[in-house]
Amino acid sequence: MLSKIARVGLVLAFATQCLGQNVSPGIPAEEAAALSSVVEDEPDMVALRKGDESPKLTLYQKALPIPPQAQVKYKITNPVTGKEIWYYELEIKPFTQQIYPNLKAARLVGYNGTSPGPTIIVPKGQESVVRFINNGDRESSVHLHGSPSRAPFDGWAEDEMFPGQYKDYYYPNYQSGRMLWYHDHALGITAENAHFGQAGAYVVADAAEDALGLPTGYGKYDIPLVLTSKYYNSDGTLRSSKGEDQSLWGDVIHVNGQPWPFFNVEPRKYRFRILDASLSRNFDLFFVRSSATSTRLPFQVIASDAGLLERPVQVTDLKNAVAERYEIVFDFSKFAGQSIELRNDHDLDIMTDDDYDNTDKVMKFVVSGTAVTDTSKVPAALRTVPYPPPSTGVDHQFRFHRSNGEWQINGVGFEDVANRVLAKVPRGKVEIWELENSSGGWTHPIHVHLVDFKVIERNGRGVEPYESIGLKDVVWLGKNEVVKVEAHYGPWNGLYMFHCHNLIHEDHDMMAAFNVTQLTTLGYNETTDFADPVDPRWAARPFTQSDFTSRSGPFTAQTINDRVQQLAREQPYSELDQVEQALEQAWANGTPTKRSVEECQKGGPVPRYRRFQV
Ligand SMILES: [Cu+2]
């Protein structure tokens, strides 16, 4: 172990190096001060090529599982809009999965006892309430990643639901078509919960997208590919992530929960919705023929985190970091009777992930020899992307760094409650944030809740073509990368998280918050209705197993109906159009200022039935 004196010496030596580090002009003074005092640990991690740690598995032995589609349990009328709200229930519970034929089954804990959890598919504009029931081992909090949910439904890390509790999450789904995903976000144990199964896909289907003629049919020609990377113990059980405080790379690559699966396909076009749900591993994906593995095959990227790109981008590899979603179309028509492999490259200029014997392989596609008619197509134009209005300068600069063994943002971790709100953005403002990884020893995929952002600049390799013509909610900071992103901070006010999505980093403690504050000039008495992510009105509630199994107490159709209608009467989403108009008006009238706490309190108690006076 390094002696304390030697450590101090190292820190001092490095501190000298840090002085004069890039601090963007125009950022708040306290932010500049915090940035200049950040002292980073010296990078001591390099990507390694290692022999496998898990027991051996033969590749491409089992078929790709398709996560089941979640079924709507009740359709409940929204008493304000008259429209339906789709109500789902997902139970967090243990189950087993036989990964190794001759070893023990792995015990997992996932949504409805599957991993990935059931895929929720809702049409654009269809509100939903998902009741999560915790019959697992530990506390959970559920984040619908990519959804502009109100703060109490956003999976704030401290808004926990303990075993024996349930919570109703209300989602707006007004966005354009895209693949979101729901996953655990509980304080300090997000990695372990996600690792053991708490993640699933959530698709907003969009008629505008359907009209394009892309390959369709969930599980048929429109296929989710949820990637994860894990280690197994010698007895076949899943190795815990507990105790890991740097990264859990994993040596077994899974797709939809199955290690290195195969998938039988027809010689035609398929749409694949790729999500990297690993704890730490990032991918650089490419396709080859099994018979010619040195030649990469072209494919088209059609969508990213926030849905369709402006137009398809043809590539021969795709960098997909943790939590990023990319949708691609691969055309198997030229490969009838052959097999195609999806592989993973390791770009040493960008990545620091450790490699193992088979982490360069992902899955195999077995292409049928029988010709088929394929009427699907990939149009040259996909959509007009709703970019935020252009802005200039840098509003905030956030350095993602390691200091004294802690993963932090500008010297702060999430447990530093007094200092963790790093930005107070006036509601509806467009801001440019500079996100920085000044280390060559690690990389960080950064996720900002609530907003879709445009990646406008990256040093070094630049903005990838498939990043620049769509909107994102995660951006990957590779080695020594600085990225600028631009977002419109609305439509809601409230406290939201932003963090590294390497879940080991996130838990230890590379996460902070931003507060979208109210405006003085908006002219309505909206106090704190949905701004507080731990508002007790929407917190998890206890239940008894007998009520759950016999559908009594909070589980009768009537009580569920009443509860969902109670949520809807508070109108978390139904006044979206008015809100957006009011925000636009306020900003057009000049520079709105934040509303003070005193002013917010003048209006008296929080009204139970909020009304905007626009
Ligand atoms: Cu990180």
Residue 43: pLDDT above 50? yes
pLDDT tens digits, 482-497: 999 999 999 998 999 9
Q: What's the angle, vertex CA 263, arms to CA 258 and CA 264, rounded to 5?
A: 155
> What span, in angstroms and rounded, lies between the C-alpha atoms of 119 and 142?
15
Ligand 1 centre distance from Cα of residue 462 (Å) = 20
| Lowest-confidence region among 7-11, 65-69, 255-259, 284-288 | 7-11
pLDDT interval class at 594 (50, 70, 90): low
Ligand 1 centre distance from Cα of residue 335 (Å) = 39
| Nearest residue to 574 (alpha-carbon basis) of 180, 206, 170, 204 | 170
| Nearest residue to 41 (alpha-carbon basis) of 410, 434, 505, 439 | 439
Ligand 1 centre distance from Cα of residue 81 (Å) = 42
Ligand 1 centre distance from Cα of residue 460 (Å) = 19
Ligand 1 centre distance from Cα of residue 354 (Å) = 15
pLDDT tens digits, 362-383: 999 999 999 999 999 999 999 9
Q: List, as own/partner pairs, every contact residues 595-602 make where C-beta atoms lie below 8 angstroms and the sequence separation is at least 24, other chains included.
A: 595/517, 595/518, 595/519, 595/520, 599/520, 600/518, 600/527, 600/528, 601/527
> DSSP letter at 58?
-
**Residue 454 in tokens:** 């445009």
The H helix count followed by the E strand count for the chain is 10, 33
- Scored b (16 or more CB within 10 A) or e, 117-143 reads bbbbbbebebbbbbbbbbbbbbbbbbb
Residue 606: pLDDT above 50? no
Is the distance from CB of 522 to CB of 582 less than 8 angstroms?
Answer: yes
Ligand 1 centre distance from Cα of residue 458 (Å) = 17
Is the distance from CB of 474 to CB of 324 less than 8 angstroms?
Answer: yes
| Nearest residue to 521 (alpha-carbon basis) of 473, 454, 587, 477 | 587
Ligand 1 centre distance from Cα of residue 174 (Å) = 30
pLDDT interval class at 591 (50, 70, 90): low
| Total length of the chain | 614
Q: What is the secondary structure of 103-163 as a DSSP string? A: SPPEEEEEETT-SSEEEEEEETT-EEEEEEEE-SSS-B-EEEET----GGGTT-TTS-B-T
**Residue 59 in tokens:** 């590749």
pLDDT tens digits, 385-409: 999 999 999 999 999 999 999 999 9
- Looking at residue 570, its amino acid is E
Ligand 1 centre distance from Cα of residue 502 (Å) = 5
Ligand 1 centre distance from Cα of residue 541 (Å) = 33
**Residue 206 in tokens:** 């969009």
> What span, in angstroms and rounded, lies between the C-alpha atoms of 259 and 45?
27
Conformational region of residue 551, where left means phi above 0, alpha means psi within -120 to 50, and beta covers everything else: left
Ligand 1 centre distance from Cα of residue 505 (Å) = 5
Ligand 1 centre distance from Cα of residue 406 (Å) = 11
Ligand 1 centre distance from Cα of residue 519 (Å) = 33
Is the distance from CB of 124 to CB of 173 less than 8 angstroms?
Answer: yes
Ligand 1 centre distance from Cα of residue 364 (Å) = 30
Ligand 1 centre distance from Cα of residue 280 (Å) = 8
pLDDT tens digits, 329-366: 999 999 999 999 999 998 889 999 999 999 999 999 99
- Residue 610: CB partners within 8 Å, gap ≥ 6? 526, 529, 570, 571
Residue 460: pLDDT above 60? yes
Ligand 1 centre distance from Cα of residue 510 (Å) = 7
Ligand 1 centre distance from Cα of residue 436 (Å) = 11
Residue 593: pLDDT above 90? no
Ligand 1 centre distance from Cα of residue 178 (Å) = 25
Evaluate the omega torsion of the peptide bond into residue 261 and state whether it is cis, within 30 degrees of 0: no
Ligand 1 centre distance from Cα of residue 511 (Å) = 9
pLDDT interval class at 45 (50, 70, 90): low
Ligand 1 centre distance from Cα of residue 457 (Å) = 20
pLDDT tens digits, 121-173: 999 999 999 999 999 999 999 999 999 999 999 999 999 999 999 999 999 99
pLDDT of residue 521: 66
Ligand 1 centre distance from Cα of residue 350 (Å) = 13
pLDDT interval class at 203 (50, 70, 90): very high
**Residue 396 in tokens:** 């905030």
pLDDT of residue 589: 79
Measured on CA atoms in the order 67, 68, 69, 75, is the torsion positive or negative? negative
Residue 8: pLDDT above 70? no
Residue 230: pLDDT above 90? yes
Is the distance from CB of 517 to CB of 595 less than 8 angstroms?
Answer: yes
For residue 398, the SS3 value is strand
pLDDT tens digits, 518-577: 887 665 555 447 888 998 889 999 999 999 999 999 999 999 999 999 999 888 998 888
Ligand 1 centre distance from Cα of residue 110 (Å) = 24
Ligand 1 centre distance from Cα of residue 444 (Å) = 4
- The Cβ of residue 406 has, within 10 Å, a number of other Cβ atoms equal to 18
Higher pLDDT, 468 or 577: 468
Beta-strand pair 106-111/494-500: unpaired
| Nearest residue to 312 (alpha-carbon basis) of 230, 372, 378 | 378
For residue 390, the SS3 value is coil
Side-by-side strand order, sheet with 396-403: 406-409, 396-403, 429-436, 482-489, 453-458
Is the distance from CB of 380 to CB of 312 less than 8 angstroms?
Answer: yes
Ligand 1 centre distance from Cα of residue 443 (Å) = 6
Mean pLDDT across the chain: 91
Ligand 1 centre distance from Cα of residue 442 (Å) = 7
Ligand 1 centre distance from Cα of residue 498 (Å) = 12
| Nearest residue to 279 (alpha-carbon basis) of 606, 502, 86 | 502
Is the distance from CB of 65 to CB of 364 less than 8 angstroms?
Answer: no
Conformational region of residue 588, where left means phi above 0, alpha means psi within -120 to 50, and beta covers everything else: alpha
Is the distance from CB of 525 to CB of 150 less than 8 angstroms?
Answer: no
Ligand 1 centre distance from Cα of residue 500 (Å) = 5
pLDDT (mean) for 441-460: 97
Evaluate the omega torsion of the peptide bond into residue 172 and state whether it is cis, within 30 degrees of 0: no
For the chain, what percent of residues have pLDDT higher than 70?
A: 91
> What span, in angstroms and rounded, lies between the C-alpha atoms of 463 and 288?
25
Is the distance from CB of 599 to CB of 429 less than 8 angstroms?
Answer: no
| Nearest residue to 54 (alpha-carbon basis) of 230, 221, 206 | 230
> What span, in angstroms and rounded, lies between the C-alpha atoms of 444 and 512?
14
Ligand 1 centre distance from Cα of residue 66 (Å) = 30
Is the distance from CB of 110 to CB of 95 less than 8 angstroms?
Answer: yes
**Residue 589 in tokens:** 């009238």
- The Cβ of residue 529 has, within 10 Å, a number of other Cβ atoms equal to 22
pLDDT of residue 322: 98
Ligand 1 centre distance from Cα of residue 408 (Å) = 9
Ligand 1 centre distance from Cα of residue 387 (Å) = 26
Ligand 1 centre distance from Cα of residue 509 (Å) = 9
pLDDT tens digits, 423-435: 999 999 999 999 9
Is the distance from CB of 96 to CB of 108 less than 8 angstroms?
Answer: yes
Ligand 1 centre distance from Cα of residue 501 (Å) = 6
> DSSP letter at 216?
-
pLDDT of residue 20: 43
Ligand 1 centre distance from Cα of residue 483 (Å) = 14
Ligand 1 centre distance from Cα of residue 397 (Å) = 16
Ligand 1 centre distance from Cα of residue 121 (Å) = 30
User: What is the phi/psi pair of residue 581, to 5°?
Assistant: -60, -45
49 HSE (CA, 13 A, CB side)? 7
